[in-house]
Chain A
Amino acid sequence: MNIQEPTIRDAVDAVDAVKNAIRSIQDGAGSDPIYTYLYLVATVLFILGLKRLSKVRTARSGNQLAGAGMLLAIVTALAETPHVSGWMIAVGLIIGGIGGGFLARWVQMTQMPEMVAAFNGLGGGASMFVGMAFLAKTDPGGMSMAQAVTVPLSLLIGAATLTGSGVAYFKLGGKKFKHPLSGGARHVAHGAIVLLIILCSVWLAQAESGASMAMAAIGIALLSGTLGVLLVFPIGGADMPVVVALLNSYSGIAAAASGFVIDNLLLVVAGALVGASGLILTRIMCKAMNRSLGNVLLGGIGDDALAEDAREYKNIKETSADEVAMLFDGATSVIIVPGYGLAVAQAQHVTRELGEELEKRDVQVRYAIHPVAGRMPGHMNVLLAEADVPYDRLFELEKINGDFSNTDVVLVLGANDVVNPAAREDTDSPIYGMPILDVDFAQTVVVVKRSLSPGYAGIRNPLFDKDNTLMFFADAKAALQEMVTEVKEL
């Protein structure tokens, strides 16, 4: 046997092996399993929190439980990460904490849809930047097979959620956008963008220099961002609750995608949970409008073309506050139907005031809440809760719809599509088949609306033309204040 003399080469290899071993310990490979257990506790807190969040009695503690889980996760991450850049963490946490706290404390409840949309976008954006930061410390060609798929996916979902939520934010604020393309060309364009994203992903995996990796990653992010914008552009105003719920789901999927990239099961589980809860809300919203998700995403309702004949009404009867007060005086039951107009006018407090005045006069007052009233799932419930309207006065569509026929006065406050009888009667209407509140079955319907404009969805509403409908053209808050004054003088 010939034992070889140790060469310099062997010595270098040995030193490298030791270096690698030290590095892998520093990197956390084979790190203390305690961190994994702590993440497990955080995950369990998330699951329990989310479960409690879906029941009225336990919701608040559920949110706090999930918050505690998040705190644990953050502390664990700080402890686990070697060489963590202390001052950068401090800067990020302070800026983000003050910003987030300020928004949460001062946002108007009427502004909640925009707030939720913005936060969905931030979640997506964070995932995109995590993906990018991961790439910045990865050597060219250093990605595994799985990472070559999950990194581009995290950039795609993150960027599309960020820009899609941005468009949703402005749409919720009342801005209208038009997709630059229509019909088949739209699908061809979207398909082409997806193809380019795939090409950039292949380029990213095979890039031989840091510069071309950066270019490929930026390419994926820009293309995905464009896709997010284009996908939300054509979605109609009436469909915004669906979009907000769907983007909520995407923000979860984006977090899970980051979890795949940095190999963290906490992110994967939490992201999957949020993805699932967003999906459930999306399904509830679609069901409330009798539409399929695909139908909503393809857009249509709310496109400008539909709004053309919206101003043609023949039998409009205007009313005034004293006449409405007289109607209330002779009524024994009143149902209030709130819609987005209530939110815009910030009329939730004066609505409760009117309700209380009527109850003092032995009028039964109830609130009928359509699941897609407003522009976000549960929008009206939040507003009325803020104004201290008792929870037991609020009724869901199925519970109250049979009662309209024996109700004296229905007061529609800035709601439009959810009380549009065309959904029941007109097979040509774009909203035909959507479950609506049958307010037109009541003795008298008073519609408070600023004008006869077709509203957010741009659909003509034959309710305004009915013989038992009176129109009160005013801002909801001003109209209600007048009504309260008149009712007090009765």
Chain B
Amino acid sequence: MIGIAFEVTFFVFIIAGLVGLEIITKVPPTLHTPLMSGSNAISGVTIVGAIALLRSDFGWGGLFLGLIALIFATVNVVGGFMVTDRMLAMFGTKKKKTSS
């Protein structure tokens, strides 16, 4: 996706923000922490940006910076999704206990 006009990107940004506000209206307190860590993992999508810049035909400076970005984003993504799953798994076992 290269060469998208700024106003188009901005348009998408605003609409996506409004969609976000609409779909996450009432969050039960139990889910405040998992929603935060799960959504934080989604924000690690910057990993896509890091990959796009890690091209062997670019200079070393850019590659080095891109590598740091990739490491940061990967920790964010892998750690974020895994820890959220770990938390939600705890909620799951508890629910089974109460229903039985």
Most A Cβ at <10 Å: residue of B73, B91, B94:
B73
Which secondary structure characterizes the binding site on chain B? helix
| Count of inter-chain pairs, beta carbons less than 8 A | 407
Which residues between 12 and 64 of chain B lie within 8 Å of chain A, taking CB atoms? 12-14, 16-21, 23-59, 61-63
Contact of A66 among B25, B33, B42, B97 (CB under 8 A): B42
B79 touches A100 (CB 8 A): yes
Give bound CA distance, A115 to B2, whole Å.
35
- Whether, in the assembled complex, A237 has its beta carbon less than 8 Å from a beta carbon of chain B, the answer is no
- Whether, in the assembled complex, A400 has its beta carbon less than 8 Å from a beta carbon of chain B, the answer is no
- Whether, in the assembled complex, A62 has its beta carbon less than 8 Å from a beta carbon of chain B, the answer is yes
Chain A positions 89 through 116: 1 when the CB is less than 8 Å from some CB of chain B, otherwise 0: 1011101110111011101010010011
A264 touches B48 (CB 8 A): yes
Contact of A260 among B9, B24, B43, B58 (CB under 8 A): B9
B38 touches A63 (CB 8 A): yes
Contact of B39 among A53, A91, A103, A378 (CB under 8 A): A53
- Whether, in the assembled complex, A197 has its beta carbon less than 8 Å from a beta carbon of chain B, the answer is no
* Given the contacts A126-B76, A263-B4, A388-B94, A74 and B31 also touching, CB distance less than 8 Å: no
A391 touches B1 (CB 8 A): no
Residues of B close to A307: CB separation below 8 A: none
Residues of A close to B67: CB separation below 8 A: 88, 91-92
* Given the contacts A35-B1, A103-B75, A50 and B23 also touching, CB distance less than 8 Å: yes
A59 touches B36 (CB 8 A): no
CB distance from B30 to the nearest CB of A (A): 4
Residues of A close to B61: CB separation below 8 A: 136, 214
A53 touches B17 (CB 8 A): no
Contact of B1 among A36, A47, A54, A128 (CB under 8 A): A36
A104 touches B78 (CB 8 A): yes
Contact of B75 among A100, A254, A262, A391 (CB under 8 A): A100
B40 touches A248 (CB 8 A): yes
Contact of B44 among A50, A123, A265 (CB under 8 A): A123
- Whether, in the assembled complex, A338 has its beta carbon less than 8 Å from a beta carbon of chain B, the answer is no
A residues lining the B interface (CB < 8 Å): 27-29, 31, 35-36, 39, 46-47, 49-51, 53-56, 59-60, 62-64, 66-67, 70, 73-74, 76-78, 80-86, 88-89, 91-93, 95-97, 99-101, 103-105, 107, 109, 112, 115-116, 119-120, 122-123, 125-130, 132-134, 136-137, 144-146, 150, 214, 244-245, 248, 251-252, 254-256, 258-281, 284, 369, 371, 376-379, 381-382, 385-386, 388-392, 394, 396
B residues lining the A interface (CB < 8 Å): 1-4, 6, 9-10, 12-14, 16-21, 23-59, 61-63, 65-95, 97-98
Taking A116-B33, A269-B13, A391-B94 as known contacts, 5 extra A-B pairs with beta carbons closer than 8 A to each other, sorted by chain A number, are A59-B31, A88-B70, A119-B40, A265-B9, A390-B98
**Minimum-distance CB pairs A-B, first 9:** A96-B74, A276-B20, A378-B32, A100-B79, A92-B70, A100-B78, A136-B62, A377-B32, A104-B82
